[in-house]
Structure 1
Amino acid sequence: MVHTIRKSVEVRIDLAEETILMVGHPEESAGKLLRGVLHLNTTEPIKVKSISLRFVGKMKVSWSEGLGHHQHYYKQERTIMEHSWQFIPMACSSQKKTYSLAAGEHSFNFELMLPGDLPQSLDAEGGQVLYRLKAMVERPAFVHNIVKKRYVKLVRSMLPSEFELVQSMEIHNTWVDKMMYDIVMPSKMYALGETITMTFHISPIAPELKVRSICASLKEYCSYTTRDNSKMDTRIINYEKLLDPFPHHADTWSRDVTLDVPSTSPLIFCNTENDMIKIRHKMKFVISLVNADGHLSELRCSVPVVVVDSFADQSENMLPAYDQTWRSVPYDPAVFEALRRSSVSQSRPLLPPSSSLVNTTDTEATTSMSDQSSASTSSPSSSSSNEQECQASCRAPITISGRARTLSITTLSASPSNTSFLNSSSGIRQGQQQSSVDPWWQGMDLSRVPSYNTAAAMDHVALSSSLPAYDQLSCSPRV
């Protein structure tokens, strides 16, 4: 009877993302939102006391040392994070209240913001980092509770623009009286499943020196720590050895060696570091030499490398490029509007004399009002055409590129109707004569840059794909 009741209820946990991807280092990652739905399917009406869901993240290390009676066990466990959702309230023990659920599917949405400094999932021999969701449907007395568990995989990814990790790495040294060598690697950071390419350059100094073999290996170091003890495990992940790699008649020797990084765990674990588990990797190189008298010599060196789960998309969690929105035009509402109007017709000047700008001085305001009163007596046809032209100019995109950009701003600063605006923004009264002709940027506050929130709130406009070259600006016409 109990078996039949349990079969009539199905519990399922669905996640919006199968794998939670953290981008960047733990100190700078913004975190990720865990979202999902708890589904409860019943073929007949049932009674429940509560429906709850719990998220728990735990880290633990354990190992043993010694043999027989001298064997010691070390173990430590710590809860990283926990959170609970209560979809149906717990029944009061005094009232023994239950809730009736109709037959069919019942869905409960849940979400949780995970901090960016959480350690990534790990299931090694001596240490584990596990995240788990546990759903429980509490039933009345004499009926088994229904429990559903699901593990959540959390991985950490790095952006390919990590400057200190994507730079090429070179080992250069001289073995006195024997040889000079260079070992070049394209990067310091590699993802699971990637191929590491190493280039060996060797220049012999000693006569009749031969290279017997070159060897490259990827080694992993796993360190586990409890309150009072620690343990270090090392293992060779992969290695490549080439015998007699260079021709004997050449003056300098060069050879590429490739090494594959395993694509899945437990063949390899990603770099991680916290107070209980630390995993790091090194590339080790061995060059075996045969001297003129026949005895063997070996050169050994190693460099640290970083192994990550994957490389994140460059566009993820990245702000848009500044020049994609503003290019190099100083931000000013009047300039922005003037450029928008100019795109209606490329043959007309940027701001014709009939165009009006808001003036700040009293005399300019009087002139603007008289212009408006005279314009009010114009014919209806001209008024409607001006209105259509204004609507078209508001919809037109702005195009700024190379020499055309300089000419547009030059025309803007040279137009009679805009002289008062430029002078007022720079603190120069209208009517003052300048002794010399200033460049186009004079009179504009180049430090006025819009904030990111302001830029994001404005409508999208089509801008040019590249900034003007320096030589184009240096030879552009002056005002």
Structure 2
Amino acid sequence: MHSQPGVKIHVENHNVILRGNADESTGCVLRGCVVLHLREKTRLKSLKLRMVGRMRVHWNERVCSNRWSSTSVNMTVGYQHQRHNKHQFDILDDEWVFLPLSNTFHVLPADTYKFPFEMVLPGNTIESVNDNSYGDIYYKLKAVAERPALQPNFVDRIPLNIIRQWMPSANQELALPSYLWNDWDERLHYRIMVPKKVYRRGEMIPLEFTVLPRQGGAMRIRYLTCVMKEYTTFVMDEQMNSKRTESRIVRFIRDEEFPGQGSEQGQKTETFAIPRSAQAIQHDIHHPLFTIEHKLQFTMCLVNEHGEKSELRASMPITIVDESTDANLSQHNHDHILPPYEEAYRSTPYEPATAMYCASSSQHSTPTSEPDAWLPLDSPYLWPVAHDREITTSYFGPLPSYGTVMDSSSNLDLFALGRPPSYDVPCATR
């Protein structure tokens, strides 16, 4: 039971999942309800719900200043210092008005009221970004029940986390090995192989290096380095007039013992560990507002027979996915397999009110005047109720009885059949 009067926001899921990239995703639906619990007759000016998505970015910029000397010859001495810049702006702003603001108050008796809402998030919605060195993107819901002057408003806030999952078609492509090979100065052939293109935090990357000197091109490998770099590109204002790219080194390895020196073929596998924490490495994001990408950069120092040093440089893109996304990939693939008709017809159809009732009752108690009064009044199972200026009944009405539902259904007894009806049986009953 509610101990104090107030307003509470319930959603089906605090983690909203977008399947596929921004071009192929069909979006998703955010459903929920605002629960208003009153222990006595209360006057309200309005009741609103607002969803806000906000982007905050910050970066350091080098500024060069000049100082004039006091000597006879005018000279300038330049020095640099860093200036910290930060900016924030809204990327999403939507509002639901359940009780509009007017010249008179809304008078509500003591009861619990539920106001459902839903919103379609397009497929190109940018996902949430947390713990990034150059900014973050977050979403939140805020419900406000405005009361008369000198009385505190009823307010509730909840965060939302938007996650993007990879589609099975994209998973198949990213699961293929990635190769990088070339000939250097017609004296050396090298190949770098990575088993797959997508990894998650804390995973090990085996890097396979193969070096084959050409005829008459005896080379010695002095050292081999591998650097994982993270590139963050973001807009600096809401007009998207300018973008800025920052990079940082995530992990670095160096190996000075490479087999196959001289004219012999050399092959070695290096193990590259991806950091586990979100502060150390972020997952990939591809959006015009905020982009995070990762690359593996290789440097091979070569020494010829005359002792001259040269450096061979190469880079390879790699994708880092979120742990929650990667953990749901197998379940995501399973969800795309349709069940047979014999099993599907026995399942319960999805009803938003039912889902919201189960979700809200599992976390919070939202009592009403009736034990099962959770269906909306505009449900086809209920009689229409006229709404007066002074609300005298709950927003949700009682459940229909079992007999009412059975009497309103078709005369065809599916349960007596014990199996799915054929096409001819329903046609014969017309």
Q: Structure 1 length as normaliser, TM-score?
A: 0.57
2:91 maps to 80
More helix by share: 1
1:113-141 per-position Cα deviation (integer Å, ceiling 9, x unaligned): 21111111124344432221111121221
For structure 1, the residue ranges without an aligned partner over 5 or more in a row are 1-6, 326-393, 397-453, 455-479
Aligned partner of residue 315 in structure 1, secondary structure: helix
In structure 2, do the counterparts of structure 1 residues 268 and 160 end up closer, same or farther at CA, with 3 Å as the change threshold?
farther
Match of residue 128 from structure 1? 136
Show the counterpart of 2:363: none
1:254-293 alignment, distance < 5 Å: 254-293=267-306
Asked whether 1:241 is paired with 2:241, we answer: no
Give, in angstroms, the shift of residue 251 of structure 1.
3.5
**Greater alpha carbon shift after TM alignment, 126-135 vs 58-67:** 58-67
Asked if residue 174 in structure 1 is aligned to residue 152 in structure 2, the reply is: no
| Structure 1 residue 29 displacement after superposition | 0.4
Cα distance in structure 2, aligned partners of 1:48 and 1:59 = 33
2:197 corresponds in structure 1 to 188
Q: Is 1:100 equivalent to 2:108 in the alignment? A: yes
Q: Which residue of 2 aligns with 1:404?
A: none
Q: Deviations over 1:149-186 (max 9, x none)?
A: 22211121213432543332111112236432110112
1:171 and 1:320 map into 2 onto residues whose CA distance is 39
Greater strand proportion: 2
Pairing partner for 1:224 from 229, 234, 244: 234
8 Å CA contact retained: 1:284, 1:303 = yes
Higher relative contact order (CA 8 A, sep 6+): 2
Match in the other structure for 2:169: 161
Q: Distance in 1 between matches of 2:147 and 2:419?
A: 63
In structure 1, C-alpha distance between the alignment counterparts of 2:40 and 2:270, rounded to whole Å: 65
| Secondary structure class of the residue paired with 2:302 | strand
Partners of 1:159 and 1:216 lie apart in 2 by: 30
Deviations 1:69-92 (A, max 9, x none): 8987866655433332233x1342
Are 1:304 and 2:313 matched, yes or no?
A: no
Task: Give the match for residue 109 of structure 1.
Answer: 116
Structure number with bigger Rg: 1
Q: Which residue of 2 aligns with 1:28?
A: 24
Alpha-carbon separation, structure 2, partners of 1:107 and 1:128: 33
Alpha carbons of 1:302 and 1:91: their partners in 2 closer, same or farther (altered >3 Å)? closer
For 1:142, which of 145, 150, 173 is the aligned residue? 150
**CA positional deviation for 1:24:** 0.8
Q: Find 2:10's aligned residue among 9, 14, 29.
A: 14
Inter-partner Cα distance in structure 1 for 2:118 and 2:221: 60
Percent identity between the aligned chains? 28
Kindly tell me: are residues 207 and 274 of structure 1, through their superposed partners in 2, closer, same or farther at Cα, counting changes over 3 Å? closer
Conservation of the 8 A alpha-carbon contact between 1:51 and 1:86: yes
Q: Secondary structure of the equivalent of 1:251?
A: coil
Please state if 1:214 is matched with 2:224.
yes
SS class of match (2:169): coil
Structure-2 separation of matches of 1:77 and 1:316: 40
Count of aligned pairs = 317
Other-structure match for 1:460: none
* Distance across 2 between alignment mates of 1:237 and 1:207: 35
Asked if the contact 2:231–2:292 (Cα under 8 Å) also holds between the matched residues in 1, the reply is yes
**Are the structure 2 counterparts of residues 41 and 242 from structure 1 closer, same or farther at C-alpha, using a change threshold of 3 Å?**
farther
Task: Supply the AA of the counterpart residue of 2:220.
Answer: K
- C-alpha deviation, 1:295, in angstroms: 4.2
Q: Distance in 1 between matches of 2:253 and 2:40?
A: 63
Describe the SS at the equivalent of 1:273: coil
Equivalents in 1 of 2:179, 2:101: separation in Å? 67
Residue type matched to 2:17 in 1?
L
Q: Give the letter for the 2:321 counterpart.
A: V
Equivalent pair of 1:189/1:305 in contact (CA under 8 Å)? yes
Question: Match for residue 213 of structure 2?
Answer: 204
Q: For 1:161, what is the secondary structure of its paired residue?
A: helix
Matches within 5 A, 1:396-415: none
Are the structure 2 counterparts of residues 207 and 250 from structure 1 closer, same or farther at C-alpha, using a change threshold of 3 Å?
closer
CA offsets per residue over residues 29-61 of structure 1, 9 Å max, x none? 011121234344556654433332111223354
Q: Which amino acid aligns with 1:258?
A: T
Q: Is the 8 A contact 2:168 2:333 kept in 1?
A: no
* More displaced stretch, 268-277 vs 147-156: 268-277
Structure 2 stretches lacking a partner, 5+ long: 66-80, 342-417, 424-430
More off after superposition, 28-37 vs 156-165: 156-165
RMSD between aligned alpha carbons? 3.6
Contact (CA 8 Å) 1:61, 1:276: kept in 2 or not? no
Contact 2:190 2:212 in 1 (8 A): yes
* Whole-angstrom CA distance in 2 between matches of 1:251 and 1:302: 25
